[in-house]
Chain A
Amino acid sequence: MSVPFDGLVPATDSDVIAGVPARFVAAPTSTEEASAIVRGAAEHGLTTVVRGAGTKQDWAAPPRTLDLIIDTGRLTGVLEHAAGDLITVVRAGTPLSELADKLAPAGQQLAIDAPIQTSTVGGTVAVNMSGPRRMLYGTVRDLLIGVTVVRPDGVVARAGGKVVKNVAGYDLGKLITGSYGTLGLVTECVFRLHPLPAISAYVSRRFTSVGEAGHAVAAVLGAQVVPTAIEVDAGPDGVVEVCVLLEGVPEGVEARVATVRTLLGGDHPTGSDTAPTWWSAYPWAAGDVGIKLTAALSTVPLLLAAGQAARERHGVPLALRGSAGTGVLYASLPGTTEPATVAAVLDDLRAAATNASGHAVVVTAPSPVRDRLDLWGPVAGLDLMRRVKQQFDPDARFAPGRFVGGI
């Protein structure tokens, strides 16, 4: 097959996004090259999806149509690490793990957890991925201080900058974060960094009731121990494990560990310098159903209870896990669960999340299941979102249909 313009190659059998095969692939090596390709795609009216490591291409909805995959696999490398200023400039295709390796010798880190180990920087920004430590450090939106984007018309735009404090103009980095590649191609990111803590300690306890676990979490939240994370893991067996991460200098952490052990109560809250095996991992495997639930902080136990109720009512091995310290939980069901059952469970969870002032969003699901579900649920401000999309991508060529409201 011939390609419409230079820089593209014909797609292979593996160039498929959420079940939709592409016609062409491009792998630009610079923002300029990326801009030329996006311009070409605009001229030829090609629908385009950006691919990083491809770890989250089965997330959200499949693209309505797909001509071109722009792969960021050659847009890699740490361009700058200004240790004294605690910032880094990194290209979008760089794996988070590679960035971490570059920063560690200076005793620094980008404080974003990678529930999926091989994720790239760009993919992490695109889906606003976060993990346990969001409780202390915030999420991508709090750490991204500058961004370079190739707009769907090929224009290269930068927003923010290289300094943490900056209020000049709109904060486009936040708009781009979590936009699932529907507003353009991110080529470079500037992040605020944090020092690596001297030591870390995990204090855990297992509870047999949701109520007790909820009380323990509330007690830790109300204390002045400044946890880096408070995570819960509620497996299908009904046991709820609470684990608190404390970081800092040895003298400080020791005292705080003692306090948290008391707060968690019981005879055997355990302390350890290594994380439990389930830490910072989604409760689902590839091919399963994954749902993200959010809640106002004090209503996290409501979500845990709703999970338990759904298990009993629908006879499913639902697992729940996530950040009790920030009100974000992830639920999973086996990929083999009947689509109708998944839909019923989702309804229950969504009702609970709504009661808890939050949302239930289907992150990933096998396609027969996905087709039956309202992935996003109610979205406030959808009209404004459509208008933003219309401004950035009037022909709806970037990741069409992948996002809320069919954006």
Chain B
Amino acid sequence: MTTIDALAATLRTVLGDERVISDRQELRTYECDGLAHYKVIPALVVFPHTAAECATAVKACVEAGVPFVARGSGTGLSGGALPRADGVLIVTSQMRQIVEIAPQDERAVVQPGVINLHVTRAASPRGYYYAPDPSSQQICSIGGNVAENSGGAHCLKYGFTTNHVTGVEIVTPDGDLVHLGGRAPDAPGYDLLGAFVGSEGTLGIATEVTVRLVRLPESVRTLLAAFPSTDAAGAATSAIIGAGVVPAAIEMMDALAIEAAEAAVHCDYPQGAGAVLIVELDGPAAEVEAQFVHVERFCRDNGAFEIRIAADDAERALFWKGRKSAFAAVGRISPDYIVQDGVIPRTALPEVLHRIGEIAAERGVRVANVFHAGDGNLHPLVLFDDSVDGEAERAEEVSGAILDLCISHGGSITGEHGVGMDKAKYMPRMYSDDDLDTMQLVRCAFDPRGLSNPGKVFPTPRLCGEVPGRHKGAHPLQEAGLAEVF
């Protein structure tokens, strides 16, 4: 009996036959995450229902010396949940219980497989919501959000997942159940919770998550402004932020991204725009009203030739529709594309956008730009046609060059999609060996055996020379209408 067969037998006794998959055909369902370019068929897939079961599964892996990888909804865009051929994939999709909605404590307690949007759905009848809003929120899991420290359009004002998680129960890579943080703030000792959030499954598996709930705002105002150029839209953004306004969101699309969105969802954005901005303010009504006037003026002063103000929720949704679909929509104007995720200081925006334009032109590749303008998180979409010789390679070059550009401007190689296996090789460009070595100290403390999602985040020889990820057409989730991409 092989190690895996023996492990499968052990896991079947604990979890029952139906919750352990070893059939190769069935295993294929789990061969990739949202970065579908990388595929590895796991040795086993298991579905725990409880923290205790999850701990037992991990313990069994540890005893067998077999690596394990956590998976939530599999929407990750950096290959974080990519299985190991010699390992077990622990899927949380049957851990979907909302344990408690406690608005009086501004907290919710959920199992890790709970879908992001379901937390808000459960809390909103009581006047609260869960603020981090990745555009995959209709399908991604809270456990995945915790692992990736996911962001969303409204994180400009409200912060990222890490600012909204106050406690986790985890299965350590040794198979022990440990609580970090909790319902009250500032638990004594090291902030291991802070280290765990964003650790991409390499420090253990979250089995229960306590999140902050935020009171719904009294008022929300949204405008769509059309500018002749991204420079003008960038200047308006600078004016808004420079004036001390903290919008809930400021999102920008360039002409190519607008073209794609028009083709896909007929969002009817103003004709002839070189860029559009969506600016949303929320908060107490009087506060929002007073600031909204300024925002409108800053847009006009910086060359906006048309400004539309959402009259109601329906119109607001329409504004957002173009923006939210832009990513997927790119599939309408290009057979293939790479989704990039990089960050620059916001003030470097004009310079970096010009440079991206130059790099793209030099290589004969088109780049559509969609981004969170407020915090400098770029999502350039590098378009190419895989059937044309050499285009894929050129697109990859451009995509890599954009990351270098982010680093040289003092930014980051990822603002929300994570490092995973896709960007591990870029980590040494952003951090020194000593920096990475220091991060690995934490890894060694949690996972001395290196069994929890090995090969992710930190570069290892195994990852050298891998091709960066790319999407063939739209992601299956987008096609199914389940998710949209920012």
Query: B216 contacts A224, CB within 8 Å?
Result: yes
Query: A138 contacts B189, CB within 8 Å?
Result: no
A392 near B: Cβ within 8 Å?
Answer: yes
Query: B419 contacts A84, CB within 8 Å?
Result: no
Query: B445 contacts A327, CB within 8 Å?
Result: no
B99 near A: Cβ within 8 Å?
Answer: no
B149 near A: Cβ within 8 Å?
Answer: yes
Most central of A142, A194, A196, A353 by chain B CB within 10 Å? A142
Give the CA-CA distance A162 to B412 in the complex, in Å.
9
* Residue interface bits B102-116, CB-to-A below 8 A is 1, else 0: 101111000000000
A195 partner residues in chain B, CB cutoff 8 A? 244-246
Query: B194 contacts A384, CB within 8 Å?
Result: no
Residues facing B in A274-302 (CB within 8 A) are: 292, 294-299
Q: Which of A46-54, A62-70, A148-156, A234-242 contacts B (4 or more CB under 8 A)?
A: A148-156
Query: B185 contacts A294, CB within 8 Å?
Result: yes
A379 to chain B, nearest CB (A): 5
B228 near A: Cβ within 8 Å?
Answer: no
* Residue interface bits B419-447, CB-to-A below 8 A is 1, else 0: 10001000100111011111101111110
Give the CA-CA distance A156 to B435 in the complex, in Å.
8
Give the CA-CA distance A156 to B179 in the complex, in Å.
31
For this complex, 14 residue pairs linking A to B, each with C-beta atoms less than 8 Å apart, are A158-B431, A161-B412, A162-B410, A164-B376, A170-B443, A171-B194, A177-B194, A255-B284, A298-B102, A381-B180, A384-B172, A384-B192, A387-B445, A388-B190
B290 partner residues in chain A, CB cutoff 8 A? 249-252
Query: B347 contacts A226, CB within 8 Å?
Result: no
A83 partner residues in chain B, CB cutoff 8 A? 242
Once A294-B186, A296-B105 are accepted as A-B contacts, the answer to whether A169 and B244 lie under 8 Å apart by CB is: no
A167 partner residues in chain B, CB cutoff 8 A? 148-149, 151, 160, 198, 412, 414-419
Which B residues form the contact surface with A (CB < 8 A)?
A: 102, 104-107, 127, 148-149, 151, 155, 159-160, 162-163, 172, 176, 178-180, 182-195, 197-199, 215-218, 238, 241-242, 244-246, 283-291, 343-347, 372, 375-377, 410-419, 423, 427, 430-432, 434-439, 441-446, 457
Contact pick for A256, options B149, B186, B193, B286, CB 8 Å = B286
A390 near B: Cβ within 8 Å?
Answer: yes
Which A residues form the contact surface with B (CB < 8 A)?
A: 82-87, 107, 128, 130, 138-139, 141-142, 149, 151, 155-159, 161-175, 177-179, 183, 194-198, 218, 221-226, 248-256, 292, 294-299, 326-328, 353, 356-359, 361, 376-377, 379-385, 387-388, 390-392, 403-405
B188 partner residues in chain A, CB cutoff 8 A? 359, 361, 376-377, 379, 404
Once A151-B438, A222-B215, A380-B179 are accepted as A-B contacts, the answer to whether A175 and B191 lie under 8 Å apart by CB is: yes
A196 partner residues in chain B, CB cutoff 8 A? 244
Query: A158 contacts B194, CB within 8 Å?
Result: no
Query: B431 contacts A178, CB within 8 Å?
Result: no
| A-B pair number, CB within 8 angstroms | 279
Query: B423 contacts A168, CB within 8 Å?
Result: yes
A133 to chain B, nearest CB (A): 14
Which residue of chain B has its CB nearest to the CB of A178? B191
Q: 8 closest Cβ contacts across the A-B interface? A: A174-B194, A252-B287, A195-B244, A358-B184, A157-B438, A255-B286, A224-B218, A298-B104
A390 partner residues in chain B, CB cutoff 8 A? 445
Sample of 20 further A-B pairs with CB below 8 A, known A296-B183, A328-B185, A379-B189 = A128-B186, A162-B410, A163-B345, A165-B412, A168-B413, A169-B419, A172-B442, A174-B193, A179-B191, A198-B244, A218-B104, A224-B217, A225-B284, A226-B217, A255-B287, A381-B192, A384-B192, A388-B192, A391-B442, A391-B445
A379 partner residues in chain B, CB cutoff 8 A? 187-189
Most central of A107, A156, A167, A226 by chain B CB within 10 Å? A167
Contact pick for B197, options A159, A171, A255, A404, CB 8 Å = A171
Most central of A83, A138, A168, A388 by chain B CB within 10 Å? A168
B241 to chain A, nearest CB (A): 7
Query: A165 contacts B218, CB within 8 Å?
Result: no
A162 to chain B, nearest CB (A): 5
Contact pick for A251, options B185, B286, B438, CB 8 Å = B286
Contact pick for A164, options B176, B288, B375, CB 8 Å = B375
Query: A382 contacts B189, CB within 8 Å?
Result: yes
Contact pick for A384, options B148, B285, B372, B445, CB 8 Å = B445
Which residue of chain A has its CB nearest to the CB of B103? A222
B106 partner residues in chain A, CB cutoff 8 A? 221, 297
A199 to chain B, nearest CB (A): 11
Which residue of chain B has its CB nearest to the CB of A376? B188
Query: A296 contacts B107, CB within 8 Å?
Result: yes
Give the CA-CA distance A253 to B182 in the complex, in Å.
33
B149 partner residues in chain A, CB cutoff 8 A? 167, 171
Which residue of chain A has its CB nearest to the CB of B163? A142
B458 to chain A, nearest CB (A): 8
Query: A172 contacts B439, CB within 8 Å?
Result: yes
Give the CA-CA distance A385 to B445 in the complex, in Å.
8
Give the CA-CA distance A380 to B184 in the complex, in Å.
13
Most central of B182, B197, B244, B285 by chain A CB within 10 Å? B244
B257 to chain A, nearest CB (A): 19
Contact pick for B375, options A84, A165, A384, CB 8 Å = A165
B171 to chain A, nearest CB (A): 12
Give the CA-CA distance A339 to B194 in the complex, in Å.
35
A254 partner residues in chain B, CB cutoff 8 A? 286
Query: B435 contacts A159, CB within 8 Å?
Result: yes
B244 partner residues in chain A, CB cutoff 8 A? 107, 195-198
Give the CA-CA distance A84 to B185 in the complex, in Å.
31
Give the CA-CA distance A173 to B197 in the complex, in Å.
12
Give the CA-CA distance A316 to B462 in the complex, in Å.
65
Give the CA-CA distance A392 to B434 in the complex, in Å.
13
Query: A175 contacts B190, CB within 8 Å?
Result: yes
Once A163-B412, A251-B286, A298-B105 are accepted as A-B contacts, the answer to whether A84 and B346 lie under 8 Å apart by CB is: yes
Which residue of chain A has its CB nearest to the CB of B107? A296
Give the CA-CA distance A407 to B375 in the complex, in Å.
38
A358 partner residues in chain B, CB cutoff 8 A? 182-184
Query: A357 contacts B413, CB within 8 Å?
Result: no
A377 partner residues in chain B, CB cutoff 8 A? 188
